[in-house]
Amino acid sequence: MTHQASYPQAPYPKNTWYVACTPDEIEDKPLGRTICNEPIVFFRGDEGRVAAVEDFCPHRGAPLSLGFVRDGKLVCGYHGLEMGCNGKCAGMPGQRVRGFPSIRAYPVEERHGFVWLWPGDPDKADPSLIPELHWADSSDWAYGGGLYHVRCEYRLMIDNLMDLTHETYVHASSIGQPEIEEAAPETRVDGDEVITSRHMENIPAPPFWQAALRGCGLADDVPVDRWQICRFTPPSHVHIDVGVAHAGNGGYDAPAEVKASSIVVDFITPETDTSIWYFWGMARNFKPEDAELTAKIREGQGKIFSEDLEMLEAQQRNLLRYPERQLLKLNIDGGGVQARRIIDRLLVEEQEADKEGATA
């Protein structure tokens, strides 16, 4: 199978939930953000509930995201038109606007410390389809993360996260080491989930994991067993079980007192066909009360993820420059290839459902 740089007009599913923003981004003002090629404004409406509507004022076309919120209504910053959470005009000083055409309102939910958006058919938006994140709502876990805007197609980031061989080269000073590329990955598909696993035994811990071992009160200068278990779920979520344990104690299954482990959290939300919002973070279940450790890990992880950006954006430019070229597939690409197959199947199913709906 080969990959081509030219993709369908809409290469991402829309009848699904994407992470759109974090609550702090809409804490004191509206947020304008393009998702799946659609300009949307997020704000807190009546009773503080999050809302999302088109970022377009029906009066003169100004972006509503340049306005402000008053009494649960989104007020246009141009002439003061008030917009309700349902996309209907609610008022305007000295004017009669309730007969104005409505703008689109989007299904949106606040859960697990994120704001989730359904950009597709609102009648199909089912909040129960938002993934369960056991670490997000437990006091036994701590989470720290951030957001990057990346100028690359979302599937390139999925490829990156499902094949961690690149760590040896891109992240040589932090989490990379030659033993990664020497350990063959194993990939399997379980329904709509793709799991790629890599286990390394009796190796030195790289700098990031040395620091993590010290954070757990463990020796950092002894051989370790290391694991990376990448899990893709549609539309574009990748969570990775990562960690090290003092060698000879069972690796991934080692008791907690001899290992440092965590979950790398990756939510990849398409902005356009060639750009994404990349929500990254790390959840851990050791010393969850240590805010200083959380901040330190977040800083280190942020630097690691930033190292990917230059490569991915340059890769995207190359693919756009040479759309006729086809890419090779190696055994290390198995996770990304299987994830793309699932995405392709879901796109076909969504397109067929849209056709059926149009003819019904």
Cβ atoms of residues 301 and 281 within 8 Å = yes
Res. 6: pLDDT tops 50: no
In whole angstroms, give the CA distance from residue 300 to residue 237: 22
What confidence score (pLDDT) does residue 178 get? Answer: 63
Q: Give buried/exposed letters for 76-114 (b at 16+ CB in 10 A, else e).
A: bbeeebbbbbebbbbebeeeebeebeebebbbbbbebeb
What confidence score (pLDDT) does residue 340 get? Answer: 93
Q: What is the pLDDT of residues 85-110, one digit of tens each?
A: 999 998 888 777 777 889 999 999 99
Summarize the confidence of residues 34-55 as an average pLDDT.
96
The verdict on pTM exceeding 0.85 is yes
Percent of the chain with pLDDT over 90: 67
Mean pLDDT taken over the chain: 88
- Look at 25-39, 84-98, 342-356 and tell me which has the smallest mean pLDDT: 84-98
Q: What is the pLDDT of residues 286-321, one digit of tens each?
A: 889 999 989 988 888 888 888 888 889 999 999 999
Res. 79: pLDDT tops 80: yes
The closest of 237, 229, 234, 270 to 253, measured between CA atoms, is: 229
Res. 260: pLDDT tops 60: yes
| pLDDT tier, 9 (very low <50, low <70, confident <90, very high otherwise) | very low
Q: What is the pLDDT of residues 236-254, one digit of tens each?
A: 999 999 999 999 999 999 9
In Å, the largest CA–CA distance within the chain is 76
Q: What is the pLDDT of residues 118-129, one digit of tens each?
A: 999 999 999 999
| 8 vs 131, residue with greater confidence | 131
SS3 annotation, the chain: CCEECCCCCCCCCCCCCEEEECHHHHCCCCEEEEECCEEEEEEECHHHCEEEEECCCCCCCCCHHHCEEECCEEECCCCCCEECCCCCEEECCCCCCCCCCCCCECCEEEECCEEEECCCCHHHCCHHHCCCCCCCCCCCCEEEEEEEEECCCHHHHHHHHHCHHHHHHHCCCCCCCHHHHHCCCEEEEECCEEEEEEEEEEECCCHHHHHHHHHCCCCCCCCEEEEEEEEEECCCEEEEEEEEEECCCCHHHCCHHHEEEEEEEEEEEEEECCEEEEEEEEEECCCCCCHHHHHHHHHHHHHHHHHHHHHHHHHHHHHHHCCCCEECCCHHHHHHHHHHHHHHHHHHHHHHHHHHHHHC
| pLDDT tier, 171 (very low <50, low <70, confident <90, very high otherwise) | low
Q: What is the pLDDT of residues 146-162, one digit of tens each?
A: 999 999 999 999 999 99
What confidence score (pLDDT) does residue 287 get? Answer: 87
What confidence score (pLDDT) does residue 352 get? Answer: 86
Sequence-distant (≥ 6) Cβ neighbours of residue 353 within 8 angstroms: 15
Q: What is the pLDDT of residues 176-235, one digit of tens each?
A: 566 666 667 899 999 999 999 989 899 999 888 888 898 889 999 999 999 999 999 999
What confidence score (pLDDT) does residue 143 get? Answer: 95
Sequence-distant (≥ 6) Cβ neighbours of residue 327 within 8 angstroms: 2, 3, 4, 5
